[in-house]
Structure 1
Amino acid sequence: MKPKLREAFNDEMKAMNKAYLAGDLNLSFYHLERAHILGQRNFKTHLETHWWMLKIGFGRKDIREIFGQIIRMIAVFPASLFGWVPVGNTGGANVSALKPMPIPHDLALFFEND
């Protein structure tokens, strides 16, 4: 993972954790979606975002999110093995795990020259 991409990922995870500790699960999930976009090409960061999404699913008592994240956590292994991730996908159970999505403009700069 390139240093600037890693720094952006870490910034989103810090913002996620701050919101999580404050009990704002919606804001926490927002930052996780952004972190997922940044980290989905790396096995460890990809798995980490889904783990936290699972935790928030439990916190919200959201059965759809819980089951969706369990499936996604299992899928991280073959996705990493074969190098396939749907670019821009936010990672939540509210979207297809196979759907590429537009990358927000402020995050797109971290993928230039890839």
Structure 2
Amino acid sequence: MAATIETMLPRAAADPILHEQRRAFADARRIGDSAAAWKALEWEHIVAQPYMDAHLASHWRMLGYAVSQGDWRESGGQAFRLMLVPLGSLTGRLPIGNSGRARISAFRNMAIPDALAARIEQARVDTDLHGDRAN
């Protein structure tokens, strides 16, 4: 079986990372840092992918942000991805590391950014050490 974020990172460990990225997005948006906002949304997407509810929520946030920025290409891409999420979840066709952005193929595997990979590994270790509780 190929390793996926889900096999590497149980939901109990993913949730704190998802929360961190949502907070980073909100902070970046508040100060007008579009690059940091998109980075947080992309990292949230990478971690959320194996969990259909979180994956859908990440694309909703991306869609909302794209609309707020007047980025109609990105908005259209996010609307399309919202339709793909259930199919990808049901078939298991979820490309590892994919940023979720419209400019990237929805089917392309990508390298997980080093800093995020380190955070994922720490969450996995914390969960292994403490059971279902991630620190």
Q: Shared fold (TM-score greater than 0.5)?
A: yes
Larger C-alpha radius of gyration, 1 or 2? 2
1:66 pairs with one of 56, 70, 75: 75
State the alpha-carbon separation in 2 of the partners of residues 4 and 106 from structure 1: 16
Are 1:12 and 2:21 counterparts? yes
Cα deviations by residue, 1:17-60 (Å, 9 ceiling, x for unpaired): 22223333332111000110111110011111111111111111
Q: State the secondary structure of the residue aligned to 1:98.
A: coil
State the alpha-carbon separation in 1 of the partners of residues 60 and 16 from structure 2: 20
What residue number does 1:30 align with?
A: 39
What residue number does 1:76 align with?
A: 85
Percent identity of the aligned residues?
A: 33
Mean CA deviation greater in 100-109 or 41-50:
100-109
Amino acid at match of 1:15: A
Are 1:92 and 2:101 counterparts? yes
Gaps of at least 5 residues in structure 2 are: 1-9, 126-135
Amino acid at match of 2:14: L
State the alpha-carbon separation in 2 of the partners of residues 5 and 33 from structure 1: 14
State the alpha-carbon separation in 1 of the partners of residues 57 and 11 from structure 2: 17
State the alpha-carbon separation in 2 of the partners of residues 82 and 24 from structure 1: 36
Mean CA deviation greater in 17-26 or 43-52:
17-26
2:58 pairs with one of 49, 54, 72: 49
Are 1:2 and 2:11 counterparts? yes
Instruction: Compute the TM-score of the two structures, normalised by the length of structure 1.
Output: 0.88
Mean CA deviation greater in 12-21 or 68-77:
12-21
Query: Aligned Cα RMSD in Å?
Result: 1.8
Mean CA deviation greater in 43-52 or 13-22:
13-22
Contact (CA 8 Å) 1:16, 1:27: kept in 2 or not?
A: yes
Gaps of at least 5 residues in structure 1 are: none
